[in-house]
Amino acid sequence: MLYREAGQFKASYREDQQIFPIRQDKIAIALILAFFYLVVPVIGDQYWLKAILVPVLIFSLAALGLNILTGYAGQLSLGTAAFMAAGAFGAFNFMLRMPDFPVFSEVKILFAFIFGGLMAALVGIVFGLPSLRIKGFYLAVATLAAQFFVVWALTKFSWFSNYSSSGVISAQDVVLFGVPIDTPESRYLFVLVIVTVLALLAKNMVRSATGRAWMAVRDMDVAAEVIGIRLLHTKLLAFAVSSFYCGVAGALYAFCYLGTVEPEGFNLDMSFRILFMIIIGGVGSVLGSFLGAAFIVLLPIFLNVFFHAVFAGAVPAGLGSNLELMIFGGLIIFFLIVEPHGLARLWQIGKEKLRLWPFPH
Amino acid sequence: MSNGRHIGDVILDLQNISLRFGGVKALTDISFNVREHEIRAIIGPNGAGKSSMLNVINGVYHPQEGTIVFHGRKRHDMNTHEAALQGIGRTFQNIALFKGMSVLDNLMTGRNLKIKSNFLQQAFYWGPTRREELEQRSKVEGIIDFLEIEHIRKTPVGRLPYGLQKRVELGRALAMEPTLLLLDEPMAGMNVEEKQDMCRFILDVNDQFGTTIVLIEHDMGVVMDISDRVVVLDYGKKIADGTPDEVRGNQEVIDAYLGVAH
Ligand SMILES: Nc1ncnc2c1ncn2[C@@H]1O[C@H](COP(=O)(O)OP(=O)(O)OP(=O)(O)O)[C@@H](O)[C@H]1O
Ligand SMILES: [Mg+2]
């Protein structure tokens, strides 16, 4: 009976409308935040921060973006990586071309990320326009067009990459209030703050009228229209907000993770990886975006360690990565068939069990 | 059966409405009106064009010919957004709830038009957002009490039995605070007890909130009992229009119902 809401009587709708109405959830969130903000930077070694936690956070943000569009608003997209590319190149060009002046240059990098997000949102809106007419599979094909078009345009028009060969860009240094963000610890914290803030904003959106409109359009568009929800407006807003999130994730990917990126890096493969993250993590769940990203980034690492420990070199080199793909595919089929709401749902079920524990009913 | 309600002027006047789908004539030259505060029934055999008529009234379908006068404004057709803004609420023949959402969220969505804050304010939960959400919540709780569904407030609607889903859908329409409520077979597939409950809710809505109701229903007992006036459609044409007693005695109506094997 550790996890119970019984006995916590809500005296007002205000209490019931809070972001985390159940006390145990509040405590859990506080503990998780404390762990990632205070404990991890101290105990995490450089490799973990740089090569695992930063990409997990960045992919969580991209998955959250896709989840807003696909999970909440019900519009399937295969263009996630393209929106990330728009964000990365948008931020790069903002840093490159925007003149410096006092005060502004202290926080220029933040504006660059916002600008990258806005550029991605613009691309998202343009490629979201067909969503008024087409749904599901056909819409996915339209977003696939975004995927190929954006990568093609960024490679073809070298203005975007400041005339570098094959569109490769090197992200400018990240400096905030004159302090360079260049150590693994500071980068991790920088990314963590941005991702936490954006996740909080997303959570607020999905629990208020905007989110209800998205879900209404997802679940029954005729009924939504009859209530007065404008379909095009609602869908385009979902495309814009979703792409903004993906764009910021793309900018972080370039500026705080890889440093050097090329358009080809944001390929269809990456779009699919992020789609798999929300399928495994949980479609239509903010938490699921994080679980899915962590799972997919960590899985190959664990499998690698596992193979080494168990077979100690007895496995031929190629087999390991093939096994990894097979396990990956199997898991995706498992989640699609058995638990379409992913890890987040399993977590929910776990909580419901805990609510009754130790009594079976 | 007007239990002391004051039936007012004509608020909705449909004139010579014709609607075709390719070669199928769903509605042919139909005219009738709806008065304020009345319960107006539309009846007719399967495929007569009843649902199409409701879809024309709130702008889901656009008739090829005809005029719609609503609250004194004349137009060729309605559009859904405008209909909602003008206070037309609606339930569907096949339940059209938002399956992935709770009862509470379904009803809250019914009030989305009342919300003035934009998505950015909502993202920051700033300014008017918190206040608005609380206002909508207390209005929705009023409807939840009215429909006696307090116990399922947080249940995802997909898990509810059919009868309750119908009731929640009525709740979602009521959340819009409609002045004109269109109900497409609200009692279809219900057992006697559920039908009685639904009848009571419809009469109460009409009585307490003064809501004008246009109702499609196959159960003649119910129709004759609760409606003020009845319009009868058959093969997309209007064959009778009047009080339940007038319609009941109409030879064409009797023929239409006998002529169709149910
Ligand atoms: N969207 C549509 N596309 C094509 N034909 C349609 C459409 N909607 C209705 N129809 C046709 O219009 C006619 C009237 O249908 P409608 O649903 O209005 O009948 P109804 O009186 O509501 O019947 P029921 O009692 O079975 O609900 C039918 O022949 C139907 O096939
Ligand atoms: Mg019908």
H runs (alpha helix) in chain A: 13-16, 23-34, 40-43, 46-47, 54-66, 80-97, 108-128, 136-156, 184-206, 209-219, 221-227, 231-252, 268-281, 286-311, 317-337, 342-356
Tokens for A281? 């993590």
> Which structural domain range is residue A125 located in?
41-266
Alpha carbon distance B11, B73 (integer Å): 10
Q: Which of B20, B30, B42, B52 to mutate to test the pocket of ligand 1 (most atoms within 8 A of CB)?
A: B52
Residues B115 and B47 placed together within one structural domain of the fold: no
Alpha carbon distance A235, A24 (integer Å): 35
Residues B128 and B194 placed together within one structural domain of the fold: no
Q: Which of A63-67, A219-223, A327-331, B26-30 is predicted with the least confidence, judged by mean pLDDT?
A: A327-331
Q: What is the pLDDT of residues A166-221, one digit of tens each?
A: 788 888 887 888 888 888 888 999 999 999 999 999 999 999 999 999 999 999 99
Mean pLDDT, all residues of chain A = 87
- The number of the ligand nearest the C-alpha atom of B44 reads 1
Written as one letter, the residue type at A231 is L
Find the length of chain A.
Answer: 361
Left if phi > 0, otherwise alpha if psi is -120 to 50, otherwise beta: which for B111? alpha
- The number of the ligand nearest the C-alpha atom of B21 reads 1
Mean pLDDT, all residues of chain B = 92
Distance from CA of A231 to the nearest CA of B (A): 10
**B205: Cβ contacts below 8 Å, ≥ 6 apart:** B174, B181, B211, B213
Where does the pLDDT of residue A161 fall: very low under 50, low under 70, confident under 90, or very high at 90 and above? confident
Residues B77 and B182 placed together within one structural domain of the fold: yes
SS3 of A180, please? strand
DSSP 8-state assignment for residue A170: E
- Answer yes or no: is pLDDT of A94 > 90: yes
pLDDT for the residue B137: 93
Q: What is the mean pLDDT of residues A219-226?
A: 94
Choose the mutation target among A125, A227, A235, A345 for the interface with B, i.e. most B CBs under 10 Å.
A227
DSSP string, chain B: ---S----SEEEEEEEEEEEETTEEEEEEEEEEEETT-EEEEE-STTSSHHHHHHHHTTSS--SEEEEEETTEEES---HHHHHHTTEEE--SS----TTSBHHHHHHHTTGGG----HHHHHTT-THHHHHHHHHHHHHHHHHHHTT-GGGTTSBGGGS-HHHHHHHHHHHHHHT--SEEEEESTTTT--HHHHHHHHHHHHHHHHHS--EEEEE-S-HHHHHHH-SEEEEEETTEEEEEE-HHHHHT-HHHHHHHHHS--
pLDDT for the residue A316: 67
Domains: count for chain A: 1
pLDDT for the residue B2: 46
Q: What is the mean pLDDT of residues B8-30?
A: 94
Alpha carbon distance A335, A343 (integer Å): 9
Distance from CA of A210 to the nearest CA of B (A): 6
User: The tokens 């931020």 sit on which residue?
Assistant: A91
**B86: Cβ contacts below 8 Å, ≥ 6 apart:** B70, B71, B179
pLDDT for the residue B70: 95
Q: Is residue B93 part of a domain?
A: no
Q: Is residue A260 part of a domain?
A: yes
Residues B169 and B182 placed together within one structural domain of the fold: no
Q: What is the mean pLDDT of residues B206-212?
A: 94
Residue B197 in contact with residue B166, Cβ under 8 Å?
no
Alpha carbon distance A24, A256 (integer Å): 34
- Measured from CB, residues less than 6 Å from any atom of ligand 1 are B 21, 24, 26, 44, 46-52, 93
Residue A267 in contact with residue A151, Cβ under 8 Å?
yes
Q: Which of A102-111, B107-116, B196-205 is predicted with the least confidence, judged by mean pLDDT?
A: A102-111
- Answer yes or no: is pLDDT of B261 > 50: no
B213 versus A98: which is more confidently predicted? Answer: B213
Q: Is residue A278 part of a domain?
A: no
Chain B residue whose CA is closest to A341: B100
pLDDT for the residue A359: 60
Interchain pair B98, A228: CB under 8 A: no
pLDDT for the residue A1: 43
Distance from CA of A316 to the nearest CA of B (A): 47
* Beta pairing, strands A169-170 & A260-261: antiparallel
- Answer yes or no: is pLDDT of B7 > 60: yes
Q: What is the mean pLDDT of residues B188-204?
A: 93
Residues B76 and B191 placed together within one structural domain of the fold: yes
Listed residues B152, B175, B198: the one ending a domain: B175
Residue B215 in contact with residue B42, Cβ under 8 Å?
yes
**A163: Cβ contacts below 8 Å, ≥ 6 apart:** none
Where does the pLDDT of residue B103 fall: very low under 50, low under 70, confident under 90, or very high at 90 and above? very high
B145 CB neighbours in chain A (<8 A) are none
- Answer yes or no: is pLDDT of A10 > 90: no
Residues B151 and B201 placed together within one structural domain of the fold: no
Q: Is residue B94 part of a domain?
A: no
Where does the pLDDT of residue A355 fall: very low under 50, low under 70, confident under 90, or very high at 90 and above? low
Residue B188 in contact with residue B93, Cβ under 8 Å?
yes
Phi, psi dihedral angles at B73 (to 5 degrees): -100, 130
Alpha carbon distance B1, B248 (integer Å): 15
User: The tokens 């190929």 sit on which residue?
Assistant: A148
Q: Please state, for a pLDDT cut of 70, what percent of chain B lies above it.
A: 96
A13 CB neighbours in chain B (<8 A) are 134, 137-138, 141
Residues B11 and B83 placed together within one structural domain of the fold: yes
Return the CATH number at B245.
Answer: 3.40.50.300
Interchain pair B100, A219: CB under 8 A: yes
Alpha carbon distance B43, B230 (integer Å): 7
Listed residues B134, B157, B175: the one ending a domain: B175
Alpha carbon distance A265, A263 (integer Å): 5
Ligand 1 center to B56 CA (angstroms): 12
Residues B69 and B186 placed together within one structural domain of the fold: yes
> Which structural domain range is residue B117 located in?
99-175
Q: Is residue A319 part of a domain?
A: no
pLDDT for the residue A182: 86
- Answer yes or no: is pLDDT of B1 > 60: no
Residues B183 and B83 placed together within one structural domain of the fold: yes
**A127: Cβ contacts below 8 Å, ≥ 6 apart:** A79, A142, A143, A145, A146, A239
Ligand 2 center to A183 CA (angstroms): 66
Please give the ipTM for the structure prediction. 0.92
A86/B contact by beta carbon, under 8 A: no
Residues B83 and B14 placed together within one structural domain of the fold: yes
A17 → closest Cβ in B100, B109, B133: B133
User: The tokens 């205000």 sit on which residue?
Assistant: A14
Ligand 1 center to B177 CA (angstroms): 28
Q: Is residue B72 part of a domain?
A: yes
Q: Is the dihedral of CA A273, A279, A280, A283 positive or negative?
A: positive
- Chains A & B: contacts with CB separation below 8 Å: 102
Residues B45 and B123 placed together within one structural domain of the fold: no
Residues B117 and B189 placed together within one structural domain of the fold: no
pTM of the entire structure? 0.91
Looking at the DSSP assignment, which residues form a beta bridge with residue B181?
A: B89, B213
Element (H, E) at A175: strand A175-176
A204 → closest Cβ in B84, B98, B124: B124
Domains: count for chain B: 2
Listed residues B157, B175, B193: the one ending a domain: B175
Q: What is the pLDDT of residues A265-277, one digit of tens each?
A: 999 999 999 999 9
* Beta pairing, strands A179-180 & B39-43: unpaired
SS3 of A294, please? helix
Tokens for B94? 């096949």
- Answer yes or no: is pLDDT of B262 > 80: no
